[in-house]
């Protein structure tokens, strides 16, 4: 334990704010960006242990009112990329083959950075040249016919953000079957994640944090516990991502959740909950026991979803931008209180 804190102290001495250039077409202004890294299972900001919570967003479709972020105490956002192939990386918004106007990733990051918010960029789907969308959830990444094109686009994103360490790249949203069907194995998970990680690390100078999903559509920590150390042997600055739905909220008590989290921490593996919501594929789920557990274990947690939609039970906001408590276990008020406590 003493060695761990000596390492952190040395990093605090050596790391400082780095000056990078904002690469968006609209601005070449020099800006100061905080440094983020991973050491011995901890996420560090400028060398100090970091614990932040936040939300998932849909800013590619239209950048949200950022004033709300401050009111909710949002410190990290995970950005939905539903059309990875056509998603603009920098520059102006474009209209894609499905008719959606997509804002550039750099513009989204620039707005988040003004409030000192970390941005996780995560691909959720691919749209082919005919305009047909395939969502990534539940799929084996390397089995997809567009896999090599996926890797090329992810490398282009890494090239854009390699000097912007407050931008973390997630490999894939919720890979592999919910019940480990379709040829799944932990070795497949390791092979795929290693290939996708090394694809990004092949970009010279890209040392940003990479977010690696768990198995069973992101809800299981089994592959992370069994194979996570093997993945870390080939790279650094890795944060694992779990999603809390049925397999956490319906089958575990607060004590059992804490035990599961401590088991991951005992492996010196850094992880977050990239999603938690009150509804997924079935019934409305309780969430307060889970939020208590992640608060006690200081596990960074992001809600699904920071969006204005009164009729969406997972939406944190009403159409008017207030806390959404409509038939959802008071999800809006509950998660806002979590963020502010």
Beta-strand relationship, 125-127 and 133-135:
antiparallel
Q: What is the pLDDT of residue 67?
A: 78
Q: Which of 27-31, 54-58, 120-124, 325-329 is least confident?
A: 27-31
> Would you say residue 2 has pLDDT above 70?
no
List strands edge to edge, sheet with 48-49. Answer: 36-39, 42-45, 48-49
> Would you say residue 89 has pLDDT above 70?
yes
Q: What is the pLDDT of residue 230?
A: 98
The answer to whether the beta carbons of residues 34 and 166 sit under 8 Å apart is yes
Those residues whose C-beta lies under 8 Å from the C-beta of residue 11, and which sit 6 or more positions away, are 37, 39, 44, 47
Give the chain's count of helices (H) and strands (E). 10, 17
Average pLDDT, the chain: 91
Query: In the predicted model, what is the mean pLDDT of residues 102-130?
Result: 97
Condensed to tens digits (0 to 9), the pLDDT of residues 204-248 reads 999 999 999 999 999 999 999 999 999 999 899 999 999 999 999
Condensed to tens digits (0 to 9), the pLDDT of residues 292-332 reads 999 999 999 999 999 999 999 999 999 999 999 999 999 99
Q: Which of 13-22, 29-38, 98-107, 254-263 is least confident?
A: 13-22
Alpha helices in the chain (DSSP H): 2-14, 67-72, 105-113, 147-161, 186-201, 222-232, 246-249, 254-265, 288-297, 331-340
> Would you say residue 86 has pLDDT above 50?
yes
CA 257 – CA 290 distance, rounded (Å): 7
CA 53 – CA 38 distance, rounded (Å): 17
Query: In the predicted model, what is the mean pLDDT of residues 252-266?
Result: 97
Q: What is the pLDDT of residue 63?
A: 81
Task: Give the predicted TM-score (pTM) of the model.
Answer: 0.91
Q: Which CATH number fits domain 52-340: 2.40.37.10, 3.20.20.80, 3.40.35.10, 1.10.10.10?
A: 3.20.20.80
CA 104 – CA 50 distance, rounded (Å): 28
Query: In the predicted model, what is the mean pLDDT of residues 26-33?
Result: 48
Give residue 56's pLDDT band: very low, low, confident or very high (50, 70, 90).
very high
Query: In the predicted model, what is the mean pLDDT of residues 81-87?
Result: 98
Q: What is the pLDDT of residue 33?
A: 67
Tokens coding 190: 């390791």
Residue 205, Cβ neighbours under 10 Å: how many?
A: 9
Percent of the chain surpassing pLDDT 90: 87
DSSP codes joined into one string, 127-171: E-TTS-EEE-TT--GGGSTTHHHHHHHHHHHHHHHTT-TTEEEE-
Q: Which of 26-30, 138-142, 237-241 is least confident?
A: 26-30
> Would you say residue 17 has pLDDT above 90?
no
Residue 108, Cβ neighbours under 10 Å: how many?
A: 22
């Amino acid at each position: 334990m003493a060695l761990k804190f000596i390492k952190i102290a040395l990093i605090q001495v050596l790391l400082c704010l780095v000056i990078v250039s904002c690469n968006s077409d609209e601005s070449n202004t020099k800006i100061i960006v905080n440094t983020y890294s991973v050491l011995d299972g901890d996420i560090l900001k400028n060398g100090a242990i970091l614990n932040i919570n936040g939300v998932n967003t849909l800013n590619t479709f239209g950048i949200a009112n950022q004033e709300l972020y401050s009111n909710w105490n949002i410190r990290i956002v995970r950005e939905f990329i539903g059309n990875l192939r056509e998603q603009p990386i920098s520059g102006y918004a474009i209209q894609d083959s499905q008719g959606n106007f997509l804002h550039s990733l750099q513009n989204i990051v620039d707005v988040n950075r003004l409030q000192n918010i970390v941005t996780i960029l995560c691909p959720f789907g691919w749209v082919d040249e005919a305009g047909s969308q395939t969502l990534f959830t539940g799929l084996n990444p390397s089995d997809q016919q567009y896999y090599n094109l996926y890797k090329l686009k992810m490398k282009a994103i890494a090239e854009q953000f390699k000097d912007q360490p407050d931008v973390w790249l997630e490999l894939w949203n919720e890979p592999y079957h919910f019940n480990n069907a379709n040829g799944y194995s932990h070795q497949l998970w390791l092979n795929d994640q290693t290939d996708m990680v090394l694809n990004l690390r092949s970009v010279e100078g890209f040392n940003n944090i990479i977010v690696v999903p768990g198995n069973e559509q992101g809800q299981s920590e089994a592959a992370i516990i069994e194979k996570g150390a093997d993945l870390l042997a080939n790279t650094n600055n890795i944060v694992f991502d779990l999603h809390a739905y049925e397999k956490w909220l319906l089958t575990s008590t607060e004590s059992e959740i804490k035990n599961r989290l401590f088991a991951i921490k005992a492996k010196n593996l850094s992880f977050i909950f990239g999603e938690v919501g009150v509804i997924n594929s079935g019934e409305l789920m309780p969430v307060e026991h889970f939020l208590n557990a992640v608060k006690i274990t200081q596990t960074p947690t992001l809600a699904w979803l920071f969006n204005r939609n009164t009729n969406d039970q997972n939406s944190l906001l009403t159409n008017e931008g207030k806390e959404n408590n409509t038939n959802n276990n008071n999800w809006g008020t509950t998660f806002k209180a979590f963020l502010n406590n």
